[in-house]
Structure formats: structure tokens, C-alpha cells
Amino acid sequence: MQFDEMNGVNNTQSGQAEAAMQSHSFTNTVKLEKEWKNRIYEQLLKVMDLSLIDNLEPADARNQIRDICQQLIQQESIPCNQATRIQIVKQIEDEIMGLGPLEPLLADASISDILVNGPQSVFVERGGKLEPTDIRFNNDQHLLNIIDRIVSTVGRRIDESSPMVDARLKDGSRVNAIIPPLALDGPSMSIRRFAIERLDMQGLVDLGSMPEELVPVFEGIVKARLNVLISGGTGSGKTTLLNILSGYIPKDERIVTIEDSAELQLQQPHTVRLETRPPNVEGKGEVSQRELVRNSLRMRPDRIVIGEVRGGEALDMLQAMNTGHDGSLTTVHANTPRDALSRIENMVSMSGVNFPMKTLRSQISSAINIVVQIARMEDGQRRMVSLQEINGMEGDIITMTELFKFERQGIDENGRVKGRYTATGIIPAFYDHLKKRGIELHYRLFDEF
């Protein structure tokens, strides 16, 4: 019995030693592969004029890089198998033509966010949850080169005089980068992935993000030209819902979209997309969202869609909604529908125009018809948690009526949030407005369920 126990201990120790050796071997292989890649990359820079690549088609450029790399590997007599050689060549291709170490992450459709916290720390978000990766950059300069490549393609810059920037990738993914001296631990970058497969309202229903009963309600709201404000926190899905709602806008209407960094994917044929511009090296040439909102009013829009209000443009947006540009859509960062209206009040004050509080709230209550609150919960699921209608004013207070809500009931054994969607049983004031426009909604949609 004692012998068996000792034998079991020896087997365990042997297994641990073997696992440690395998881990050590893998680490050495990765290290050698990185050294070989750097050596071939340096040789490539000596024999190939990379400035000529800009004049080639991407596929032709990659073929040339691949051929030269394979010749250099043979000349250097690097002792590695075919799979490792292919991996080294692919990494060099990505380094020159793409975003280097980030390319495998960008190719993974399951990743929604890529978060680079310096050259040695890269995290991703899958299914609403963060997880670390084994992706590494060589050093700060390596990461800075990738950031500069991203921002320069959209005519923006990042340096010590302008150490933070918003940009986008070719596929529309949103990028934010910040570098020293503002970032103390080295360059930092976050990439909000652009959805390749566009979600529709039924997709949100299938994901459990909203109830099926709301689909015809949202369709009616947009087609009846009600002004909608989508409220939520960072990463809660505001832009996704804005995209989906914009799909209900009739194709014969002229739409002007205004964004800090273009993300919207409107499918209508008559869409004009506007994007802000940061100041140049001399601090001139900046074009703000407020200027674009003002200019859009002269462009004969049927609808104005603002990616997100975050400053003085809120005043111009309210005035547009109140002067014939109904059916407008926008988003705002806020935790509740009531907070969303308070944020609009604060942003109007940023415009420099002083309104009496009652007058300002009266403008807000007549401009915005619907507030949709969405949230990302701790299980990673995005959900619509409240749909409220703005009714008007009572004294100095904007009155709101909740029509639908998500009732949270706890957490299940898998850590998922339990709950149900329910209507409050209140028939909205916009019901008759929809009916006059030929949009019929059955009363039972608003019955408690």
C-alpha cells in the first residue's frame, strides 16, 4: 500500500516535470520564432523598397513579400519546419501590410473589443467578458508604429503635442489611442470591432436583448417620424440599436448622418455621411459636431442621425427636432432615461446660451418623443431595460411614462442574469399619432405580459 502511494507520488512528480519541460520547450520555440522573424524582417528591409508597395494591389504586394521572405529563409538556413516558416512569413506580411500582432485578433469574428494596455498586455472581449491573450509587441516603438499606421490612414496624427486620437480601421472598427506623456505605462489602444454581419431587430430578439412584442412598436415609432434618444453606458450597444432603427427609415428619404468617428451602416440610397475633423499641427482646421449639425440643416435633410451627442451640438439638435426635422435619431451616455434628459440639459449649457430652466426643459420635452434605455449587464448580455415616452411638462418637471421594461429576478447557477420583459399596461400618447399615419398597432401589445 505504501509502495503504491509512493509510486503515485512519483508519477505525479514525473508528470509535473514533463509538463514543465513541455512548457519550457514551447517558450523557447516561441522565443526562437520571434528572433528568426526579426532577423528575416531586417534582411527584407535591406533588399526590398517598401515605399513601392503603396503602388501595388494588396494581394500582389503580399505575394512579393512572401516570395522574398521564403528566399531569405532558405539563404539563412533557419532550422525550422514548414509550418513555422509559414508562420514567420505570415507575421512579416502582417507587420508590413497589416497591424502586426493584432491581425490574428482582427480575423477572429468572436472578438468584439481589443484592448492594448501597453506592448506586453493585450486583452479581448468575447461574449461580453474580458480575457487576456498571449499577443505581445516588441516594445513601445513597435506599438507606436502600429498606432501611427492606423491614424495616418484617416488623415489624423498622434504625437507628443496631440497624444490622444480617435480613428477607424478600413472595416469601420472604431479605434482610440493614447500615448505618453498622458499614458504612464506606455502607448494604449482600444479597438471597438465593427460587426461584419449586421444585426437586425429579430436578431436582438433571438439574443434576448428585447421582447418580440417591441418589434412592430419600434418600426412604427421610426416610420411615424418620432424623435428617438437612445441612452446607455459604454459598450451597451447604443450604436448597434441606432443602426437597426435606422433600417426602418423609408428609402425615399434623404438622411444626413453626423459622427465623431464614422460607424453607422445605413443602407438607404440617399444618405450623406459627415464626420468631424480634429485640428491640424498648427491647431487650426477643426470641424466640430456642432458645426456639422448646423450645416446639415442647410442640406435639405428629411432625417438627421447623430451618432452621439456629447457637447454644445445638443442645442442645435433640439432646435432641429423642433423646427420640422422630426424623425431624428441620436444616442447619449447615461444610466437612466431621466439621467439622459439631465445630460441633455447640461450639454445645452455647454453651448454658451443661457436658457431659463423651465424654457429649456420645455424645448426638450417637445423635441424628444421616446427614450430607449439599454444596458450591458454583468453576464455580458446587452438588454433593453426601459422604453419611455415623454409626455410634456408638469410645472418645471418633464413627465415621462414607462411603456416596457426588463424586470430583473436574480442570477442563475451559470452567472446569467434572470429576468423578464413586461409591458406596463399603459397605452402611449403616440398611439393615435401612429394611427393617423396609417400605422396600426394592436392594443394588446401594450397589455401587461
Q: Compute the average pLDDT of residues 100-113.
A: 88
Interacting residues of 241 by C-beta distance below 8 A, sequence separation 6+: 204, 230, 372, 374, 384
Topology of the domain covering 99-197? Beta-Lactamase (3.30.450)
What pLDDT is recorded for position 22? Answer: 47
CATH of 201-446, one of 3.40.50.300, 3.40.50.450, 3.30.70.260, 3.40.190.10: 3.40.50.300
pLDDT tens across 107-151, in order?
A: 888 898 999 999 999 999 988 788 999 999 988 998 998 898 888
What pLDDT is recorded for position 42? Answer: 74
- Half-sphere exposure of residue 158, counting CA atoms within 13 Å on the CB side? 29
Residue 410 backbone class (left: φ over 0; alpha: ψ -120 to 50; beta: rest): left
Q: N- to C-terminal Cα distance for the chain? A: 65
Alpha helix ranges (H) inside 212-370: 214-223, 238-246, 289-296, 313-321, 337-349, 357-367
Distance CA(441)–CA(220), nearest Å, equals 8
Task: Locate the domains of the chain by residue range.
Answer: 24-97, 99-197, 201-446
pLDDT higher for 14 or 442? 442
| Residue 436: pLDDT over 80 | yes
pLDDT band at 20 (very low <50, low <70, confident <90, very high): very low
pLDDT tens across 407-434, in order?
A: 999 988 888 899 999 999 999 999 999 9
pLDDT band at 8 (very low <50, low <70, confident <90, very high): low
Distance CA(156)–CA(148), nearest Å, equals 9
- Of all residues in the chain, the percent with pLDDT exceeding 70 is 89
The H or E element containing residue 259 is strand 255-259
| Residue 2: pLDDT over 70 | no
How many CB atoms are closer than 10 A to CB 401?
A: 14
Distance CA(71)–CA(48), nearest Å, equals 12
Tell me whether strands 303-306 and 255-259 are parallel, antiparallel or unpaired: parallel
